[in-house]
Amino acid sequence: MTFEQNTLPCSYFTEKKPLLLENGTSIDELTVAYESYGKLNKNKSNAIIVCHALSGDQFLASKNPITNKDGWWDRMVGPGKPIDTERYFVICANVLGGCIGSTGPTSIDPKTNEAYGLSFPVITISDMVNAQIRLINHLGIEKLLSVIGGSMGGMQVLEWAASYPDRLHSAIPIATSSRHTAQNIAFHELGRQAIMADPDWNNGNYIKLGTSPTKGLSIARMTAHVTYLSEASLTKKFGRRLQDKKEISFGFDADFQIESYLRHQGLTFVDRFDANSYLYITRAMDYFDLEKTHGKSLTEIFEKTKTRFLIASFTGDWLYPPSENLMIVRALSAGGVDVSFVNIESDKGHDAFLLDEPEFDGAMTGFLDAVSKEIKV
Amino acid sequence: MSNKRIDLELITSLVDRETRVLDIGCGNGELLDSLKRKRKVIGQGLELKQERVNQCVARGLSAIQGDADKDLGLYPNQSFDCVILSQTIQATGQPKLILTELIRIGKKAIVSIPNFGYWKIRLSLAINGKMPVTKKLAHNWHDTPNIHLCTILDFINLCKELNIKIEKTIILSSNKTKSYNGIPNKFSNLFSEEAIFLIKS
């Protein structure tokens, strides 16, 4: 599925100034599709950017026009919620390389007047952040109150804090890592191979040829989805229960509820996501290695930074486990950085950061409140 | 005022304004909160129990989950103006190592201890022949986290051995306090329930 630019009900920012990319090339025309919530105050000091994860989008806390479901972090962002839109001006932008309105492989290449497809340059997490910088420059925001994000969103938060320490007061990386591990890369490779093995992918030219690699993309999503859960949550939710039948079928239909659930997850994903975009974004995550990009150790990158950090991990998250997050905490502590760390007890896997975890909400509320008071929002 | 509150007040009085403070074993952040309000310090907490760390963060304090026995190595030399170890040293695995770490990390350190040499504790052991259980040390021998209890005299001797200077001592007993420059008089080991030491390398 692809979405034409400027067709979804959200805000757009377009700039015809080349965006230089980490790989040395550039994008001539940048569009960023974004949503915002709450009001920017007079001195523009109450702005927060929330960075979305791999399959997320700009519909953070408002009805998603594609799925007709609530925003992906509706429980965290809104009036009276931990990221309180009555106090803060909250921005969420579709990432560069995405497929929900921002410039990405489904966009029209102004040079050819055709969709980029695989001629879209390979982008990185820091390219995504540079696109967001353009957006906040456009909005006239000098310094953000906070940059917040989980998973890939957390990688963007780390990159924000590493490259633009003067543009944010605080950073909240959640359930993330300072570099993709071999296991992280391995799961992404499974997804990419599934997409590229689909004959309808047509070497990435499916838009032009009118085909759609739905099978490959849905398998990619099914694989990834399992990594967001945990054995405990799968057992609790599905166990070995059968789907609409009393006995196993001795065949390959979806006998088990978990199979049927995963197939459903895969099928609904293709309605809202583009296969090439999936390749590009997973690649950006795989290439993420803060120390390597900056040519310094984590401690050196953040040494004496004024940015206040709140890092959160979840005990049942095996994709970006507490140990990965703790590594960042240790580096920051060693660098004399003001850092807090909460490790939330949860058996819900990586997805816990999106789900109801009241203790996490308390930490988020308290931290943002303390930062706002400190900078006198 | 409870004994614990007095302890916090006294420690607060030893901390300079607008300095960087690390509170090891910060609990739910009561001391850090008081220091932040009364002394305008930039505070950091280290706490073993995650639940308490979360309480600290929820009240706007900076705290991380960590173990005093394992995690002090991550702080650079002299990175804090003051490091506080309040009623915690007796529960650590290696008090000697921790003492040296405190004055490596901090330009000064404040350590408070329950005094096992207090006469009521001595008497309780002498008369009952059982490990003393008091208000301050309320655990049984088998479930106590306090694995390295010491007396005021023990602490002073350890500081001597490690060449650590005791700049100030405040002793407490039944809500009365007394302050000494340097070490306290010899009776304090018998008559005080608790002592707070300001130490330097």
Domain boundary among A282, A304, A320: A282
Residue B155 lies inside a defined structural domain of this protein? yes
Domain housing A192: 185-282
Q: What is the pLDDT of residue B6?
A: 83
What pLDDT sits at residue A24?
Answer: 97
Percent above pLDDT 90 for chain A = 94
In the listed set A228, A247, A282, which residue is the last one of a domain according to the structure? A282
What is the pLDDT, as a whole number, of residue A304? 84
The answer to whether A173 and A158 have CB atoms below 8 angstroms apart is: yes
Confidence of residue A1 (pLDDT cuts 50, 70, 90): low
CA separation for the pair A374, A377 (Å, rounded): 8
Would residue B123 count as lying in a domain?
Answer: no
Task: Tell me, yes or no, whether A346 lies in a domain.
Answer: yes
Q: For the segment A278-310, what is each residue's pLDDT rounded down to a tens digit?
A: 999 999 999 999 999 999 999 999 998 999 999
pLDDT bin (cut points 50, 70, 90) of residue B63 is very high
**In a domain? residue A21:** yes
**pLDDT on residue B50:** 81
Same domain, A159 and A72: yes
User: Looking at A313-322, B66-75, B151-160, which range is the least confident one?
Assistant: B66-75
Domain presence at residue A2: no
Looking at the structure, do residues A123 and A26 belong to the same domain, yes or no?
A: yes
Alpha carbons within 13 A on the beta-carbon side of A297: 9
Q: Which of B24, B46, B51, B57 to mutate to test the interface with A (most CBs of A within 10 A)?
A: B57
Do strands A339-344 and B20-24 pair parallel, antiparallel, or not at all (unpaired)? unpaired
Query: Are A29 and A108 in the same domain?
Result: yes
**What three-state secondary structure class fits A280?**
helix
- Would residue B18 count as lying in a domain? yes
pLDDT band, very low/low/confident/very high, at A46 (cuts 50, 70, 90): very high
- Enter the ipTM: 0.79
Contacts of A369 in chain B (CB under 8 A): 60
* Residue range A226-249: mean pLDDT, rounded: 95
For residue A3, tell me if it sits in a domain. Answer: no
- State the angle between helix axes of A275-287 and A152-163 in degrees (0 to 180), rounded to the nearest 10: 50
> Residue B128: inside a domain, yes or no?
no
A3–B contact, CB cutoff 8 A: no
Give the mean model confidence (pLDDT) for residues A49-74.
Answer: 97
CA A326 distance to own-chain centroid: 20
* Residue that is last in its domain, among A262, A282, A302: A282
Q: Which residues of A are catalytic?
A: 151, 317, 350
Domain identity same for A89 and A16: yes
For residues A52 and A171, membership in a common domain is answered with: yes
**Is the same domain home to A121 and A233?**
no
Of the candidates A333, A363, A369, the beta carbon closest to that of B54 is on A363
Across the beta sheet with A89-93, the strand order is: A11-15, A30-37, A89-93, A47-51, A146-150, A170-174, A308-314, A339-344
Are both A264 and A348 inside the same structural domain?
A: no
Q: How many alpha carbons fall within 13 Å on the CB side of residue A29?
A: 12
What pLDDT shows up at residue A323? 93
Residue B143 is assigned to a structural domain of this protein: no
* CATH number where A68 lies: 3.40.50.1820
Residue B136 forms part of a structural domain: no
Assess whether A361 and A299 both reside in one domain: yes
Q: Is residue A308 in some structural domain? A: yes
A25 is a domain residue: yes
Tell which phi-psi region holds residue A151, choosing left (phi > 0), alpha (psi between -120 and 50) or beta.
left
Domain that holds residue B77: 3-116+149-200
Q: Which residues in chain B have Cβ-Cβ distances shorter than 8 Å to A338?
A: 42, 44, 62
Alpha carbons A147 and A377: distance in angstroms, whole number: 16
A3 confidence band (pLDDT: 50, 70, 90): low
| Contact with chain B for residue A329, Cβ under 8 A | yes
Q: Where is B108: in which H helix or E strand?
A: strand B106-114
Handedness of CA A341, A344, A350, A355 (dihedral sign): negative
How do residues A368-377 score in pLDDT, each as one tens digit? 999 999 898 8
Per-residue pLDDT, averaged over A325-339, amounts to 91
Tell me whether residue B44 is in a domain. Answer: yes
Question: Per the structure, how many domains does chain A have?
Answer: 2
- Based on the domain organization, do A245 and A347 belong to the same domain? no
pTM above threshold 0.95: no
Whether residue A41 sits in one domain with residue A171: yes
Is A153 in the same domain as A191? Answer: no
| pLDDT for A334 | 84
Q: How many CB atoms lie within 10 A of CB A303?
A: 16
Average pLDDT over residues A55-82: 96
Mutate to test the interface with B, among A302, A308, A325, A333 (most CBs of B within 10 A): A333
What is the CATH classification number for the domain harbouring B83?
3.40.50.150
Residues from B in contact with A at Cβ < 8 Å = 42, 44, 50-51, 53-54, 56-65, 71, 74-76, 79
Q: State the pLDDT at residue B1.
A: 41
Is pLDDT above 70 for A2? no
Are residues A151 and A30 located together in one domain of the fold?
yes
For the stretch A135-187, pLDDT in tens is 999 999 999 999 999 999 999 999 999 999 999 999 999 999 999 999 999 99
Nearest CA-CA distance, residue B35 and chain A, Å: 15
Q: What digits encode the pLDDT tens for the residues A81-116?
A: 999 999 999 999 999 999 999 999 999 999 999 999
pLDDT in tens, B25-43: 999 999 999 999 999 999 9
Indicate yes or no: CB of B79 within 8 angstroms of CB of A336.
Answer: yes
Query: Looking at the 3D structure of chain B, how many domains does it have?
Result: 1
Alpha helix segments (H runs only) across chain A = 125-138, 152-163, 182-197, 206-209, 214-228, 231-237, 257-270, 275-287, 290-294, 298-302, 322-334, 358-374
Residues of B in contact with A328 (CB under 8 A): none
